[in-house]
Structure 1
Amino acid sequence: MKACLNCGEEVIGREGKKFCTTYCKSNYHYERSKQKEDSIFRAVDKQLKLNRRILKNYNRAGKATVRAEVLANHGFNSNYFTHYWKSKKGDVYLFCYEYGFISFADMKGTRKYTLIKWQSHMSTTN
């Protein structure tokens, strides 16, 4: 005797059958897909919050420059950001909530980030 994977009722029918009804089969797969979506959402949200915490920690004065490897060692991933802002000079800053960053290489080729904090004069309509 096998139990339905969705409701636990007895499954009657061919060998290898996993669900008692088509409803249970559909509901089981629907619930599993929702869990997968939640896990993706949670992973992205977790990375965004980590990025924000790292940027906040290294940008206490409102503007700072930090080597990219220092941020990466703390788990920073520049592929995750909430929005961007384009300055009048054409530079594009990526933001994790109110903390922004832009990547550049210094004269020696060392990858660095300039960190900034969102200011009232910045708007998302630029």
Structure 2
Amino acid sequence: MRLQHECLYCQKQIIGRTDKKYCNLHCKSAYQYQKAKEQPERFYNKVDNQLKLNRKILKQYNKGGKVTVRETVLLEKGFNPNFFTHYWKNQKGEVYLFVYEYGFLKLKEGQNNKYVLVLWQEYMSVAKR
């Protein structure tokens, strides 16, 4: 049995099976994309996106393995120091926060806040006893 009904995306008349909802694959894909955009961003996606952005920024500014950068430079690019994957504490007791292989340590020099950026090193993996 064939009935006429409307495509959920473009509202054109569909002639065909009773369970058919879209004119074609384009309308189906566009409708699903539109519905997904209407949903609030999931917490997982927010965290994942911020981690990716943080890593990209740290990678961009740490070309030599260890470098110092003003805090404002990173923050203006969208860096958020509250999002990191793990940490490492050195012998001085300083705690470096890492976004995968890129680490950062916040320092205050006079009136300026800065970050020391480092790359993860193999010796950091050794557990202290």
TM-score bin (small chain): 0.5 to 0.7
Q: Which residue of 1 aligns with 2:43?
A: 40
Greater strand content: 2
Structure 1 runs of 4+ with >3 Å offset: none
Could you state the TM-score of these two structures normalised by the residue count of structure 1?
0.67
Contact 1:84–1:124, Cα closer than 8 Å, also in 2:
no
Residue 109 (structure 1) shift:
1.7
How far apart in 2 are the matches of 1:55 and 1:104?
A: 16
Q: 1:65 to 1:57 in 2, by over 3 A?
A: same
Q: Which residue of 2 aligns with 1:6?
A: none
- Aligned to 2:123, the other structure's residue is in SS state coil
Q: Which runs of 5+ in 2 are unaligned?
A: 1-38
Superposed CA deviations along residues 47-66 of structure 1, whole A, max 9, x for unmatched, are 00100000000001000000
- Aligned to 1:112, the other structure's residue is in SS state strand
**Where do 1:99-118 residues align within 5 Å?**
99-106=102-109, 108-118=110-120
Q: Which residue of 1 aligns with 2:53?
A: 50
Q: Confirm whether residue 91 of structure 1 aligns to residue 119 of structure 2.
A: no
Q: Number of residue pairs matched?
A: 90
Q: Confirm whether residue 119 of structure 1 aligns to residue 118 of structure 2.
A: no
Superposed CA deviations along residues 101-124 of structure 1, whole A, max 9, x for unmatched, are 000110x22000000000010027
Could you state the TM-score of these two structures normalised by the residue count of structure 2?
0.66
Residue 94 (structure 1) shift:
0.1
Q: Of the candidates 42, 63, 67, which is equivalent to residue 64 of structure 1?
A: 67
Between the aligned residues of both structures, percent identity stands at 54
* Cα-Cα RMSD: 1.6
Superposed CA deviations along residues 72-97 of structure 1, whole A, max 9, x for unmatched, are 00000000000000001111000000
Q: Which runs of 5+ in 1 are unaligned?
A: 1-34
How far apart in 2 are the matches of 1:78 and 1:124?
A: 25
How far apart in 1 are the matches of 2:86 and 2:61?
A: 19
